[in-house]
Amino acid sequence: MSGGKKANKDNNMQNSYSRPQISQEVIKGFTAIVDAQDEKGFAKYGRSIDDANDADYDWKLMALEECADHAKYLVREIKRLEAENERLRSELDKANRQAKKMTSLYKIFKGKWEWALERIGKLSKEK
């Protein structure tokens, strides 16, 4: 395929592509976080990362430190979600036990109700 035809095909694909809504939300949220972090960094260091002096920072070490924090945050969130899941399972188990009791009571009540209606019917016929 010639260069002109390939470029035309690429342009047509771009024109027909619409970014999914979820992707748009991710980009919007991530952009807000990046902007907030940039503001925080500027407030702390008095300059943007673009203006930082490479000699003043060990970028690889800082990135590893951030990764370690990231891993700790994920583990903490996993533990929180597991505890919430356990709490919800316990509530569901309790609700299921109560439903079984209610079903048993309903069956007992229904049987007694049917017996009472039958008895009332027999008494009515006797009069």
Q: How far apart are CA 113 and CA 127, in angstroms?
A: 21
CB half-sphere exposure, 35, CA atoms < 13 A: 6
Between the alpha carbon of residue 6 and those of residues 12, 14, 16, 18, the distances in Å are 10, 12, 16, 20
Do 11 and 43 belong together in one domain? yes
d(CA 70, CA 48): 22
Specify whether the CB–CB gap between 52 and 45 falls below 8 A: yes
Residue-range definition of the domain harbouring residue 83: 58-127
123 and 65 together in one domain:
yes
Q: Please indicate, yes or no, whether residues 62 and 122 belong to a single structural domain of this protein.
A: yes
DSSP 55: G
CB 66 within 8 A of CB 60: no
Task: Give the pLDDT confidence score for residue 126 in this predicted structure.
Answer: 75
**pLDDT tens digits, the chain, 127 residues: what are they?**
555 555 555 555 566 889 999 999 999 999 999 999 999 999 999 999 999 999 999 999 999 999 999 999 999 999 999 999 999 999 999 999 999 999 999 888 888 888 888 888 877 887 6
What is the C-alpha separation between 56 and 114, in angstroms, rounded? Answer: 87
- Domain boundary residue, one of 11, 27, 52: 52
User: Considering its fold, how many domains does the chain have in total?
Assistant: 2
- The residue type of 44 is K
At 11 the pLDDT is: 57
- Same domain, residue pair 1 and 20: yes
pLDDT, position 120: 87
46 shares a domain with 65: no
86, two tokens: 């356990």
Which of 18, 34, 52 is the C-terminal boundary of a domain? 52
Residue 62 and residue 42 share a domain: no
Q: Is 86 helix (H, G, I), strand (E, B) or coil?
A: helix
Same domain, 83 and 45: no
